[in-house]
Structure 1
Amino acid sequence: MNGIALDGLREQLRGQLITPEDPEYDSARSVFNAMVDKRPAGIVRVAQVADVIAGVNFARDNGMPLAIRGGGHSAPGFGTWDDALVLDFVNRTGVRVDPEAGTARAEAGTTWADFNHATHAFGLATTGGIVGSTGVAGLTLGGGIGYLARKFGLSCDNLVSADVVTADGSFVVASEDRNEDLFWALRGGGGNFGVVTSFEFTLHPVDMVHAGIVIYGAEHTDTVAHFYRDYIATAPEEFGAFLGFHQGPPVPFLPEEWHGKPVCVVVGMWTGDAAEGPSRWQPFLDAAPVAGSMVGPMPYPALNVAFDGLNQKGMQGYWKANFLRELNDGAIGAHATFGSTVTSVNTSVHVYPIDGAVSRVGVQDTAFANRDMKFSPVIATQWVDPADNDANIAWARNYAEALAPHSERGGYINFMDSEDQQRVSDNYGPNWDRLVQIKGKYDPGNLFHVNQNIKPA
């Protein structure tokens, strides 16, 4: 784009417009995944909704790609794009809690660490991510799996309303009784339908939880995984925990001899009667020899940021995922084989339960269709040195191929990488046709295509 055109946009903005000539351009264009190296034409650091309307109108009228950056945590790096206009919400992280109504409204740049900090002051929370630096916007629009999902449903199930700027520059509110079709699509359909500038959530009483991080040597994977599968199948919904495979992290409660070694983990929390917390975790301490553990009362926000040190911006990243209808012996065998060869201390292979409250929402009640699945696994491969890219990508692909015979065709869009675009219809299953129709209504020109894209009818 020429400077005159961008200057014209600058005059319409309250926020900052950063272009390639500006000294902060390289830092402003960077995203969480360092493998993504795009050069947008301009980056708008949004100050208010009027900036979003101006940016949407400008990109549409000038035929520019438009990228939306909320928390900036997108594994494929969809918060930037070559020659695009980027709407960056880095400065929009406000959270307004209404404790009487039991709701909170979060701006589009808010992370779950921001959100939980605000709501915890009132002893309240809603389902958020596993990592505090994950953005509220991206996680919610893709569904929203987290520790509280078995008890309270996905993040999108707790969404009350959303403020949205659509492709024609209109500002609308989406809720159960306003623009209902758009509200349906936003709950799992990703960023395909507009720019959501704020999200209103239902909150639940969650304050101190009885957290558990239990670490075993990888040689015990078969025993631990079978025990986890059987335990979670009958556990009360107040127990939310995932099964994972890592290299031993450098934490005080894990002896140094285990640091960097392959380990199997169970991590989560009990949100029921605090007096029951120790008894709810004791079975995992007895299931197999424990290399290290931390079990006890903890503020919910503290557990949410426990792994942030291993998930820092600027690493190389490549992800793979499918849904599991069951954690069968074949899937456990694949995890036992590949989980013992995790490539870096920053890599996380997690198996999240999505039963309980998640499964009580109908398959077609929201855009998130995979309500009859039991688990959502992810292979989140992360590493520091670009020289290791080929080896890490190959490892993740081989791991995914080993799991494929035991998996469903679709996967969770928040765990998809940039090469997974051809799978997008499988990810939405029976909701695909309706999503295509709604896309055609709200974004007929596919302005919002820098995402796991749903093309309009």
Structure 2
Amino acid sequence: MKAIEAGNIEGEVLPPGVPGYDDARRVFNGMIDRQPALIVRCANESDVARSLDLARRHSLQVAVRGGGHNVAGNAVCDGGLVIDLSRMRRVELEPMRRRARVQGGATWGDLDTATQAHGLATPGGVVSSTGVAGLTLGGGIGVLRGLYGLTCDNLVGAELVTATGERVSTSADENPDLLWGLRGGGGNFGVVTTFEFALHPLGSVVSGLLDFAHSRDFLKFYDEFAAGAPDELALSPAGDPVASVFACFCGSEAAAAPVFDRLRSGFAPLRDGLATRSYVESQRMLDAISPWGVRNFWKTNAMGPLTSLAIEAFDEVFMSAKSPASQVQLEHLHGAMHRTPPGANAASFAGAKYNLLVNAKWTDPARDEENIRWARDGFALLQPHLSSGAYTNYLVQEPRERVRQAYGAETFDRLVALKDRYDPTNVFRLNQNIPPSGD
């Protein structure tokens, strides 16, 4: 197989045993240890098409790697072929049109750095090493969600290679049904090699971590505070083991001051790390607590307001964590993301107030069972308090019915119709899979 590749692929071909293979198969989640038959670091769209042809001729399963940050490890497979886009990281800007064209291997660090040089941004992830591709295709929650919606709401065009090697473009005027599917429907329809985003003006932000003494009273206060939060404010509280809130206000210090004074009014923070920063600096603040190679197991769902019973359950889950690095997160969902017209994207939060993430995080493989059990049991305890919808980027190896539930039946069925058109043989199935009809 290596000889076949050498004459056709312009990028880098990595079979087992060659230098660089082991590094190329590693992904964000340290639990994932898979051995592909071949990794192709594509140089361009033609390499993607050739790789798909090679996989088809040799009956190899296909995995697609953008940033490799997906917690389920879908970017790599055992015994198959990995289409690795990490060499395709170009970012092209049209500042006057407020548009960015981004290749499928770029990270949010790449895109944020490029756009902020012109005082612009598009909603993206909060860890700079996260890939643009996976986050966008799964919906994309970031600190600009209140102002400008989900990442996928700002996707205005794309180019992809289908399972048969065909190159397809999509926009509001060309294959608009496919653009809708890419706005939250995952990597089910092809390898997206280029994304086009709308950009928005953005200067410095006021952001940082605030630590509070964890208590049920604080959770009640937080829920009340979040209900009145302006669109400029993003909140993501988690416990570690204090109640730690990452807050980002996308505006001036003068505008942020009364908002944060109100946050501090109920409970004095144990640590107050708020400061005026560049958006790029703020977007890197959580990198240190999201390192590669740590073992992760996640459970997630949308959630409504925190009732007294929900707070009691949250507290019980939080206090029973088996690892000091584990977290129970509540990402506040509000503003522009809830003003997006129904049916405009495939992501589904159905007006939920929070995105819940029970995040087991540890380092010792001998402790896999107890940490995974904690996440599952904790999620089950919170189950009665959850709403409909889920953030598919946070799902880990869930059964088909769970994926259907995450999208909702109507959206799922519409995605199946797209799957039938663009990938009827389900070549792209290492994802939160939308199976073709009859599968």
With the shorter chain as reference, the TM-score category is over 0.9
Q: Which residue number in structure 1 is paired with residue 183 of structure 2?
A: 187
Unaligned 5+ residue runs, structure 2? none
1:210-249 correspondence to structure 2 within 5 Å: 210-218=206-214, 220=215, 222-246=216-240
- 2:197 equivalent in structure 1: 201
Please, which of 161, 164, 171 is the counterpart of residue 160 of structure 2? 164
1:224 deviates by 2.2
Q: Is the 8 A contact 1:245 1:339 kept in 2?
A: yes
- The one-letter amino acid paired with 2:275 is G
Q: Distance in 2 between matches of 1:205 and 1:279?
A: 23
Paired letter, 2:229: A
| Aligned-pair CA distance for 1:421 | 4.2
Q: CA deviation at 1:318?
A: 0.6
For 1:72, the aligned partner's letter is G
Contact 2:349 2:388 in 1 (8 A): no
Contact 1:112-1:128 at 8 Å conserved across structures? yes
1:333 is the counterpart of 2:327: no
Instruction: Assess, with a 3 A threshold, how the Cα gap between structure 1 residues 123 and 228 changes in structure 2: closer, same or farther.
Output: same
For 2:106 and 2:399, how far apart are their aligned partners in 1? 26
**Match of 1:23?**
19
- Structure 2: how far apart are the matches of 1:346 and 1:440? 42
Aligned position for 2:300: 321
- Which secondary structure does the structure 2 equivalent of 1:376 belong to? strand
**Residue of structure 2 in register with 1:249 after alignment:** none
Deviations 1:66-101 (A, max 9, x none): 000001001010011111110111222221222111
| Structure 1 stretch displaced more, 58-67 or 385-394 | 58-67
Output aligned runs, 1:75-224, within 5 Å. 75-218=71-214, 220=215, 222-224=216-218
State the partner residue of 1:452. 432
Q: Which residue of 2 aligns with 1:255?
A: none
Measured in 1, the distance between the counterparts of 2:44 and 2:54 equals 16
The 2-side partners of 1:440 and 1:50 are apart by 24
Distance in 2 separating the partners of 1:329 and 1:193: 43
Does the 8 A contact of 2:348 with 2:391 survive in 1? no
Q: Deviation of residue 370 (structure 1)?
A: 2.4
Q: Name which of 274, 277, 288 aligns with 2:256.
A: 277
Question: Which residue identity lines up with residue 445 of structure 1 in the other structure?
Answer: T
RMSD between superposed Cα atoms in Å: 1.6
Structure 1 240/402 Cα, relative in aligned 2: closer, same or farther at 3 Å?
same
Deviation at 1:301, TM superposition (A): 1.6
Instruction: Give the distance between the partners of 2:248 and 2:27, measured in 1 at CA.
Output: 31
Partners of 2:324 and 2:120 lie apart in 1 by: 32
Distance 1:27 1:55 in 2: 20
- 1:437 and 2:413 are equivalent in the alignment: no
1:396 corresponds to 2:375: yes
Is 1:69 aligned to 2:65, yes or no?
Answer: yes
Amino acid corresponding to residue 98 of structure 2 in structure 1: G
- Cα 1:198–1:343 shift into 2, 3 Å: farther
The whole-number CA distance in structure 1 between the counterparts of 2:189 and 2:61 is 15
Letter in 2 for 1:340: M
Query: Do structure 1's residue 286 and structure 2's residue 265 form an aligned pair?
Result: yes
Could you tell me how far 1:41 is from its partner in structure 2? Answer: 0.8
CA separation of 1:217 and 1:341: change in aligned 2, threshold 3 A: farther
Letter of the 1:234 partner, please give it.
G
Mark the runs of 5 or more structure 1 residues left unpaired by the alignment.
247-261
SS at structure 2 position matched to 1:322: strand
CA distance in 2, matches of 1:289, 1:310: 23
1:353 corresponds to 2:332: yes
Shift of 1:9: 3.0
Identity %: 39
Distance 1:372 1:280 in 2: 23
CA contact (8 A) 1:327 1:375 kept: no
When structure 1 is superposed on structure 2, of 150-159 and 112-121 the one drifting more is: 112-121
Distance 1:420 1:411, change over 3 A: farther
- Determine helix, strand or coil for the equivalent of 1:36: coil
User: Partner of 1:73: helix, strand, or coil?
Assistant: coil
Aligned partners of 2:109 and 2:22: how far apart in 1?
A: 25
CA–CA distance in structure 1, aligned partners of residues 219 and 239 of structure 2:
10
Alignment TM-score, normalising by the size of structure 2: 0.95
